[in-house]
Structures are given as C-alpha cells and as structure tokens.
Amino acid sequence: MACVNYSYTPENMDRAARAMGYEMPISFKHAMEICRELKGKKVEEAKKYLEDVIAMKRAVPFRRHKKKVAHKKLDGWYAGRYPQKAAKYILKVLRNLEANAEYKGLDKEELVIIHAQAKMGRKLKRYTPRAYGRATPRFKVYTTVEFVAEVKEET
C-alpha cells in the first residue's frame, strides 16, 4: 500500500477527524456524486442518507454524470440513481470517521462533514481473448474516498 496523503488539512486538528477508504472497488463516478451530496451534512444525517440509498428509498442526484440517467423523484433535480455498492463502501468509511472522532474525544452528534472527495485509484488492465486474434479490454477501477469532519463552534 502506498503512502497516500489527505488533500485537505483542517485549520484546527483538535476539533476535526479524518478517515480514508483507500482503493475501494467502486465506481469513481458514483463515489464522486455521493461525496458531493454528503458534503456539509452532519455525520448522522449522512449515515442515514446512505442507508436509505442502499434500501433504495432515496436516490442520489447525478449532477455531472447525468447523460442517459433515468429521472427520479428528487428535490430540484431530475437525474438520479441508487448506487448501492458505492454507498456500502462509503458507509464503512463514515463509520470509521465516527470512530476516529470518538477516539479523539469529539462529540459525534455535532460532527459536520467539511471535506468529501473521491479520487481515482489504480486501474488493473486485463484482456479477454476473442475470435480472430482480437482481445477486449476489461479494466478494474479502484477509487479512494476521503472525509474530514469538524465540530462546529456555536456562535
């Protein structure tokens, strides 16, 4: 496993927790759309949201990768899907984030996700032999997801 750094460092690390899922076998596009939706939410809300996506009760709005995506009942958007596999892996990372915050002595109920990012990982290139000496590529895509949550100060 390579040494991978976080792309975002909070100003006050005493009030923040971080978690990373390194090279998970999920779609980068699905992970990117889920991360966009989770940013700015509380960790408890985000976990509930992902559990609803896995149960196919709520759809994730696809704002960037929306070509040929079916219409779903969403607030203020038309294209959406239920990326269940990506939601399961990202839910594990959120639980890890919550455990990291608890270890640091932070209040779990007040954690807000201030940074959520999906990065492309490696591609394993494989080829399937076909007729007449040809071959079809089969690429396995890995995605790295990172979250940073912070306890917001009350003003």
Backbone angles phi and psi of 105, in degrees to 5: 85, 20
Domain residues of the chain, as ranges?
Answer: 13-151
Stretch 76-91: mean pLDDT: 95
> What is the three-class DSSP state of 128?
strand
Tokens representing 11?
Answer: 């100003």
Average pLDDT, the chain: 93
Reported as a single tens digit per residue, the pLDDT across 36-63 is: 999 999 999 999 999 999 999 999 999 9
The secondary structure of residue 24, as a DSSP letter, is E
Count Cβ atoms below 10 Å from residue 148 Cβ, excluding itself: 23
User: Which pLDDT score is estimated for 155?
Assistant: 53
Per-residue pLDDT of 88-128, as tens digits, reads 999 999 999 999 999 999 999 999 999 999 999 999 999 99
CA distance 25 to 48: 22
Which CATH fold topology does 13-151 show?
Ribosomal Protein L22; Chain A (3.90.470)
User: Residues 15, 22, 69, CA angle at the centre, nearest 5°?
Assistant: 100
pTM for this prediction: 0.90
